[in-house]
């Protein structure tokens, strides 16, 4: 009753306005713009496009994807463990579903991707009638939208296989039912979109927005995937699936596709706009580590092709949450999530290029000594030097040394390290793996309170060189491939690869995993190479013991490999299932194999 009385009072108090101002209900809202206003104002159209950029996944979402493959383990779970057991179903997409992940993986959901695609379609339908003082500005904006539409379709294609190619903005009461296009048609559409975008975009400019290089880099990635074994298998892994064209090419020449992938990477290289960041031949291992670490700790460099701030508009942080808070050791009052697993750490070679092996006694005694310099820029491990501890912890560790072990004190008692899940600082958020992420994290700030503002790299030049090298390997051009693999390795202070045949393929794949770790590649790489059965084995970590002196100094460390999470592979997980609700709304959709 009180609510009703207040409402009547409000109406009474505004009665004069209602009776005297006949146009009251025709007033434009002050918190939004009408459709007519937007498509008659170039500045508002720019804002409309800015909002499409926001649909690109945040770095938080990209790092989360590492937990779903053999790179990381998420200590808060969020159904990641069930994902890595291939337990996804059309009724429950777990972390990939908007509802199941509190929106953090929304870009992976079918409906959210199409929401962004619809915005692109609206723009492309309306833009011709918009008055622009500078036609070149309109063309550039159109190029950006074509790039964005291609990007969102690439995300869908990589996760689901062939999807409906929708190039119009549906209105109310229209028939929304539509069939899925073949994988081949989707590849053709996306690459043509990239070419159209590249023709309209400048070669240089703000790298937080699409440029010619970004469009060509996307094309390179798309064609690299398309040439890979998964998409040229005729879906033999799918049993008697009756619509193999949705998840694979069913004709044509795989070698021609590798040539197209090579040419696409070369097109980026031929722009002569990009270079590897830092010294091409560092003099010391320390310089090589700094080389790699600093790629990600600046607001732009010559290696960047397409960068991302939180909304791609240079006015917010990409860290949602703060990356150091999200991934740092709990003994620094950070959360320890997305912790590297042992398989990822073990892929970092010895400094001489030989394989690290826990069965080698010399390696096991000092597992983090004389390794690939990128390890020290990517992972925090037992005994690693990190930044100073927070003030309330500093007395326990004045030097800022990572402690993930259990240590025997002079009195015979055993105490857990400061960065363990049973440690004295925080006992709920430590890593299960014995490792923490170092990559991307600015060591000069206290992430408990301060957000870093550096951008996240969506495309960088090292990927293009590796894309080119992979295509060369598959075309039998091994010497050319090694030239570009070794450029990336030289920047990291690593010796050249010299292998041939399958051994070269294996070295390349390991190099790609190490160089591009946590950058949204590995999840898709193990699928397109069809090695997912090797990647989805039980996740490992490291157990550490040692002695702790009265002054807190740790010695006599011993290391052993431990299982930290059960994982399992089911071939149906090559692709996500289309959500059952979506199929119920659109009876023309065909489900993916084995679901």
Q: Are 437 and 380 in contact (CB under 8 A)?
A: yes
The whole-number pLDDT of residue 453 equals: 84
How would you label 458-467 residue by residue, b for 16+ Cβ within 10 Å and e otherwise? bbbbbbbbbb
The whole-number pLDDT of residue 506 equals: 98
The whole-number pLDDT of residue 29 equals: 55
Q: Where are the alpha helices (DSSP H) in 437-557?
A: 461-474, 478-491, 501-515, 522-528, 532-535
First-to-last C-alpha distance (Å) of the chain = 53
Low-confidence ranges of the chain (pLDDT < 70): 1-33, 98-108, 310-322
How far apart CA 107 and CA 115 sit, in angstroms, is 10
Q: Are 545 and 407 in contact (CB under 8 A)?
A: yes
- Backbone dihedral region of 400: left (phi > 0), alpha (psi from -120 to 50 degrees) or beta? left
How far apart CA 566 and CA 73 sit, in angstroms, is 11
Mapped onto helix, strand or coil, the DSSP state of residue 216 is helix
How far apart CA 451 and CA 318 sit, in angstroms, is 9
Q: Where are the alpha helices (DSSP H) in 35-166?
A: 35-38, 42-53, 59-66, 80-83, 110-126, 135-160
How far apart CA 167 and CA 164 sit, in angstroms, is 10
**Structure-token pair, residue 78:** 């969020």
* C-beta atoms surrounding 137 within 10 Å: 13
Q: Considering the domain 39-254+574-585 in this protein, what is its CATH number?
A: 1.25.40.390
User: Could you tell me which residues are beta bridge partners of residue 72?
Assistant: 340
57 Cβ contact partners less than 8 Å away, ≥ 6 residues apart:
105, 107, 108, 155
The whole-number pLDDT of residue 108 equals: 64
How far from the centroid of its chain's Cα atoms is residue 102's Cα? 18
DSSP per-residue letters across 11-42:
HHHTHHHHHH-TTGGGPPPSSS--HHHHTT-H
DSSP per-residue letters across 421-448:
TT-SS-SSS--SSS-EE-TT--TTS-TT
Q: Domain residue spans in the chain?
A: 39-254+574-585, 323-457+538-567
Q: Are 468 and 221 in contact (CB under 8 A)?
A: no
Q: Are 557 and 383 in contact (CB under 8 A)?
A: yes
Mapped onto helix, strand or coil, the DSSP state of residue 466 is helix
**Structure-token pair, residue 476:** 């039998």
Q: Are 445 and 324 in contact (CB under 8 A)?
A: yes
pTM over 0.85: yes
Residue 259 dihedral angles phi and psi, to the nearest 5°: -65, -40
The whole-number pLDDT of residue 32 equals: 62
Q: Which residue in the block uniquely carries the two structure tokens 């777990």?
A: 94
The whole-number pLDDT of residue 325 equals: 78
Q: Are 283 and 246 in contact (CB under 8 A)?
A: no
The whole-number pLDDT of residue 3 equals: 32
> 56: closest CA among 134, 148, 181?
148
């Amino acid at each position: 009753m009180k609510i009703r009385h207040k409402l009547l009072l409000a109406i009474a108090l505004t009665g004069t306005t209602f009776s005297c101002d006949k146009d009251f209900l025709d007033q434009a809202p002050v918190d939004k713009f009408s459709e007519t206003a937007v498509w008659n104002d170039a500045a508002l159209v720019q804002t409309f496009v800015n909002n499409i950029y926001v649909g690109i996944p945040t770095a938080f979402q990209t790092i989360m994807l590492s937990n779903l493959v053999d790179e990381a383990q998420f200590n808060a779970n969020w159904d990641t463990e069930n994902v890595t057991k291939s337990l996804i179903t059309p009724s429950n997409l777990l972390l990939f579903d908007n509802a199941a992940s509190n929106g953090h993986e929304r870009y992976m959901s079918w409906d959210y991707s199409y929401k962004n695609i619809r915005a692109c379609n609206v723009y492309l339908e309306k833009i011709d009638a918009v008055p622009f003082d500078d036609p070149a500005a309109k063309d550039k904006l159109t190029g950006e939208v074509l790039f964005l539409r291609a990007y969102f379709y690439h995300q869908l294609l990589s996760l689901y296989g062939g999807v409906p190619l929708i190039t119009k903005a549906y209105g109310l009461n229209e028939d929304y039912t539509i069939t899925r296009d073949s994988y081949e048609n989707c590849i053709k559409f996306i690459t043509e979109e990239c070419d159209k975008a590249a023709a309209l975009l400048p070669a240089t400019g703000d790298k937080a927005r699409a440029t010619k290089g970004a469009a060509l880099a996307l094309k390179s990635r798309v064609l690299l995937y398309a040439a890979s074994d998964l998409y040229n298998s005729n879906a033999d892994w799918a049993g008697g699936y009756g619509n193999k064209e949705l998840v694979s090419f069913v004709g044509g020449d795989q070698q021609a596709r590798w040539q197209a992938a090579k040419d696409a990477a070369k097109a980026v290289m031929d722009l002569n706009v990009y270079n590897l960041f830092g010294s091409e031949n560092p003099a010391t291992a320390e310089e090589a580590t700094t080389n790699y670490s600093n790629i990600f700790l600046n607001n732009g460099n010559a290696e960047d092709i397409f960068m991302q701030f939180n909304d791609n508009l240079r006015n917010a942080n990409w860290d949602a949450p703060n990356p150091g808070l999200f991934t740092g050791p709990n003994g620094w009052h950070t959360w320890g999530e997305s912790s590297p697993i042992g398989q990822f750490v073990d892929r970092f070679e010895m400094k001489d290029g030989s394989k690290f092996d826990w069965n080698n006694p010399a390696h096991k005694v000092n597992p983090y000594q004389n390794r690939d310099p990128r390890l020290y820029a990517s992972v925090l491990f037992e005994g690693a030097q990190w930044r100073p501890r927070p003030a309330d912890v500093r007395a326990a560790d004045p030097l800022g040394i990572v402690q993930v072990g259990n240590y025997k004190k002079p009195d015979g008692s055993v105490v857990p390290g400061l960065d363990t899940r049973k440690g004295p600082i925080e006992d709920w958020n430590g890593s299960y793996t014995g490792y923490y992420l170092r990559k991307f994290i600015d060591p000069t700030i206290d992430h408990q309170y301060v957000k870093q503002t550096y951008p996240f790299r969506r495309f960088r030049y090292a990927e293009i060189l590796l894309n080119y090298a992979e295509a060369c390997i598959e075309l039998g051009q091994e010497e050319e491939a090694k030239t570009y693999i070794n450029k990336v390795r030289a920047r990291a202070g690593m010796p050249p690869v010299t292998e041939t045949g399958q051994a070269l393929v294996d070295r390349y794949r390991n190099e790609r995993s190490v160089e591009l770790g946590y950058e949204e590649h590995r999840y898709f790489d193990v699928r397109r190479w069809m090695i997912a059965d090797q990647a989805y084995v039980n996740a490992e970590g490291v157990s550490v013991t040692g002695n702790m002196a009265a002054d807190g100094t740790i010695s006599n460390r011993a290391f052993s490999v431990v299982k930290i999470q059960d994982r399992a592979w089911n071939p149906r997980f090559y692709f996500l299932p289309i959500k059952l609700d979506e199929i119920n709304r659109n009876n023309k959709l065909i489900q993916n194999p084995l679901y």
